[in-house]
Amino acid sequence: MTGSLTVVGTGPGRPELMTPATRAVLDRATDLVGYGPYLDRIPAGGAGQCRHASDNRVELDRARHALSLAAEGKQVVVVSGGDPGVFAMAAAVFEAVETGDPAWQALDIRVEPGVTAMLAAAAEVGAPLGGDFCAISLSDNLKGWSTIERRLKAAAEADFVIALYNPASKARPHQLGQAFDLMRKLKDAATPVLFVRAAGTPDAKVVTASLGEADASVADMRTLVIIGASTTRRVGRWVYTPRRESTP
């Protein structure tokens, strides 16, 4: 097959946070496939470059369409936000390859790393991910809430810093509050909680609270929530988690 498919992320917001490798792939593409608002972040390409925008909840359909275009000989780029391998389109592409046309396995498929939201959010406040951490999505569109609760409990008991993606939406306004209720049974009330909205953009906003007083209504779908570990510390306006178990 002469076509190719590359999965990229636009980064968390500012154009300069999109990697040069991603920009080069976008410039060479004949077809861009992605969620409409993510495609809107990309400047117009060369003559003949086609854009295929779709809704946010049709990841597998989008991936299959992209693979079909690549099988036709197109140079296809699938566009995600942040990093394409973190709660994004890379997994959907490989799921489509696994369950779709066997010929797709012969395609030239690549993933370009990007800057994911939790890294941009952490940089806004200091170094809260300086020690061991994990990332959990609170969206139950693709997995059950009981699975999310089990993972939250395990992460809290292991004393990870926890980065929460997709903390709230109009359809799920209650789940972050439920997550906080669970955390309060397992973590100290003084544990730092960070709400970072629009990380990596000029509109970035940070709200710092303790777990005991954290207000779930502060978050929306543009917010990344970080719940600290027992070692996470505040230093002035900064928050960091040391790499050692105890600090001087």
Please indicate, yes or no, whether residues 12 and 110 belong to a single structural domain of this protein: yes
- How high is the pLDDT of residue 1? 66
Q: Are residue 105 and residue 173 in the same domain, yes or no?
A: no
Dist. CA 206–CA 27, nearest whole Å: 34
Q: Is residue 38 within 8 Å of residue 79, measured between CB atoms?
A: yes
Q: What is the distance, to the nearest Å, from the Cα of residue 69 to the centroid of all Cα atoms in its chain?
A: 26
Q: Is residue 245 part of a domain?
A: no
- Can you give the pLDDT at residue 140? 87
Residue 46 lies in a domain: yes
Pair 79, 179 in one domain:
no
Q: Is residue 248 situated within a structural domain?
A: no
Res 100: pLDDT: 94
Contact between 155 and 182 (Cβ < 8 Å):
no
Instruction: List the domain range (segments joined by +) for residue 14.
Output: 4-115
Considering the chain, what percentage of its residues have pLDDT values greater than 90? 79
- Give the model's pLDDT for residue 10: 93
The tens digit of pLDDT for each residue in 150-200 reads 999 999 999 999 999 999 877 777 899 999 999 999 999 999 999 999 998
Residue 113: pLDDT above 80? yes
Do 128 and 235 lie in a common domain? yes
Residues 72 and 14 in one domain: yes
Q: What is the mean pLDDT of the chain?
A: 93
Residue after which a domain boundary falls, among 115, 140, 164: 115
* pLDDT tens-digit readout, 4-57: 999 999 998 888 999 999 999 999 999 999 999 889 888 877 778 999 998 877
- Reply yes or no on whether the pLDDT at 248 is more than 70: no
Residues 94 and 203 reside in one and the same domain: no
| 100 and 199 fall within a common domain | no
Task: Give the pLDDT confidence score for residue 156 in this predicted structure.
Answer: 97
Q: What is the domain-level CATH number for residue 10?
A: 3.40.1010.10
Instruction: Check whether 246 has a pLDDT greater than 70.
Output: no
Total domains, the chain: 2
Give residue 13's pLDDT. Answer: 83
Other Cβ atoms less than 10 A from the Cβ of 1: the count is 12
Domain boundary among 115, 147, 170: 115
Q: What local confidence, expressed as pLDDT, does residue 244 receive?
A: 81
Does some domain include residue 62?
A: yes
Question: Do residue 141 and residue 236 come from a single domain?
Answer: yes
